[in-house]
């Protein structure tokens, strides 16, 4: 007698998932939705009222001529064209901001990495030094820190006195167009505590066996740093680079306080955000200020996207094989 074997049913890969969903009480699943929305409602209301709504209004105003006192007049792309054709101060603000980003971000990351490496090799007093170096970051973009910095670098201040004692006579840093932006860059670099703490956490995750094996093979400190520390630390460098670049584009308080609120001597401290504030809240050209804000948002998004796009060339992950 011949036995006819029926074919096996196709394997349902999502059977366990469906089984788990069937095991869940249906009443409980239905009741969880309104509770979730109830908890999310305050956040949704805040996001719509304080973020999404103002952004939509700002996008509309960027295409208008609006001064807070009269009705907006539609001008199309007139505000954007005016930026690059008829506004020299706008171009100066772009130049100052780009110089600040390109100089302060690499310097800040370099200093924070060097200090983190020193703290990683120190056996005693690490907690004290971490707190001491991190403290300036807690001040952030505070007015008090900027006022103290201005007093340090103004004419006859402590910085000038120290430099004069070694034979280098300098003018008032905050009043000279050649040095004013440099003083703001130094203030940004001085607040290296936040990236330093992240670098230090990343350094502690690197296995010591890698450095020991390389040292046995004859690799010096520079080669171990180049071929072990930097690749293993590249995800942390990537994170700090993105965060510090975004933060640098948005710098405002140091430029406002040190530059006297008007962009410093000869507009040497005219940051993008400072000029945006001046146009919007002193000249009441809200349409033009809105257009400037959207350009800044687009630039930050493009720079961030470029960094993410190039990350696969220089950022290495332990699970890179699994990702492929």
State how far the Cα of 211 lies from the Cα of 219, in Å rounded to an integer: 9
Task: Tally Cβ neighbours within 10 Å of residue 216.
Answer: 8
Q: Is the pLDDT of residue 148 over 50?
A: yes
- Model pLDDT for residues 72-88, shown as the tens digit of each residue: 999 999 999 999 998 99
* Closest of 100, 82, 89, 131 to residue 278, by C-alpha: 89
Phi, psi at 74, each rounded to 5°? -70, 125
pTM: 0.83
Vertex 80: Cα angle to 78 and 84 (nearest 5):
110
Q: Is the pLDDT of residue 169 over 70?
A: yes
User: Residue 134 is encoded by which pair of tokens?
Assistant: 């991190």
Q: Is the pLDDT of residue 99 over 70?
A: yes
H-helix segments, 86-125: 88-121
Q: Average pLDDT for residues 252-267, to the nearest whole number?
A: 87
Cβ atoms of 195 and 245 within 8 Å: the answer is no
Q: Is the pLDDT of residue 116 over 70?
A: yes
State how far the Cα of 140 lies from the Cα of 149, in Å rounded to an integer: 13
**Which pLDDT score is estimated for 29?**
54
**Spatial CB neighbours of 54, under 8 Å, sequence gap ≥ 6:** none
- Model pLDDT for residues 181-230, shown as the tens digit of each residue: 999 999 999 989 899 999 999 999 999 899 999 999 988 999 999 999 99
Residues found in the chain: 324
Task: Tally Cβ neighbours within 10 Å of residue 181.
Answer: 23
**Which pLDDT score is estimated for 19?**
46
**Which pLDDT score is estimated for 157?**
86
User: Residue 255 is encoded by which pair of tokens?
Assistant: 């430029």
Q: Is the pLDDT of residue 15 over 60?
A: no
**Which pLDDT score is estimated for 161?**
87
26 vs 223, residue with greater confidence = 223
Q: Is the pLDDT of residue 122 over 80?
A: no
What does the mean pLDDT of the chain come to? 86
State how far the Cα of 220 lies from the Cα of 203, in Å rounded to an integer: 18
* Closest of 194, 179, 198, 181 to residue 101, by C-alpha: 181
What stretch of H or E contains 73? strand 73-74
**Which pLDDT score is estimated for 233?**
93
Phi, psi at 145, each rounded to 5°? -65, -40
Q: DSSP for 181-225?
A: HHHHHHHHHH--HHHHHHHHHHHHTS-HHHHHHHHHTT--HHHHI
């Amino acid at each position: 007698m011949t036995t006819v074997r029926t074919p096996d049913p196709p394997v349902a890969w999502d059977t366990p998932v469906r089984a788990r969903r069937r095991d869940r009480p249906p009443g409980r699943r239905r009741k969880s939705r309104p509770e979730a929305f109830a908890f999310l409602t305050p956040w949704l209301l805040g996001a719509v009222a304080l973020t999404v709504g103002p952004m939509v209004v700002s996008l509309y105003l960027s295409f208008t001529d609006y001064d807070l006192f009269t009705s907006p007049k539609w001008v199309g792309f007139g505000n954007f064209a005016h930026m690059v054709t008829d506004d020299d101060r706008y171009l100066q603000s772009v130049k100052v901001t780009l110089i600040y980003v390109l100089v302060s971000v690499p310097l800040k990351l370099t200093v924070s990495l060097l200090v983190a490496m020193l703290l990683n090799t120190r056996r005693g007093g690490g907690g004290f030094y971490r707190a001491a170096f991190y403290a300036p970051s807690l001040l952030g973009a505070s007015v008090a820190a900027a006022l103290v910095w201005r007093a340090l670098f103004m004419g006859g201040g402590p910085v000038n006195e120290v430099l004069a004692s070694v034979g280098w006579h300098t003018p008032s840093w905050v009043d000279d167009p050649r040095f004013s932006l440099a003083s703001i860059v130094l203030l940004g670099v001085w607040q290296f505590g936040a990236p330093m703490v992240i670098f230090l956490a990343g350094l502690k995750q690197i296995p010591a066996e890698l450095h020991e094996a390389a040292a046995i093979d004859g690799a010096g400190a520079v080669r171990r740093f180049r071929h072990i520390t930097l690749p293993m630390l590249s995800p942390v460098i990537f994170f700090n680079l993105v965060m510090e670049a975004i933060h640098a584009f948005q710098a405002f308080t140091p430029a406002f306080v040190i530059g006297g609120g008007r962009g410093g001597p000869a507009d040497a401290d005219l940051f993008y955000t400072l000029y945006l504030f001046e146009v919007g809240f002193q000249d009441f050209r809200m349409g033009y200020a809105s257009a400037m804000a959207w350009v800044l948002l687009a630039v930050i998004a493009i720079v961030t996207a470029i960094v993410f796009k190039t990350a696969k060339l220089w950022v290495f992950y332990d699970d890179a094989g699994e990702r492929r």
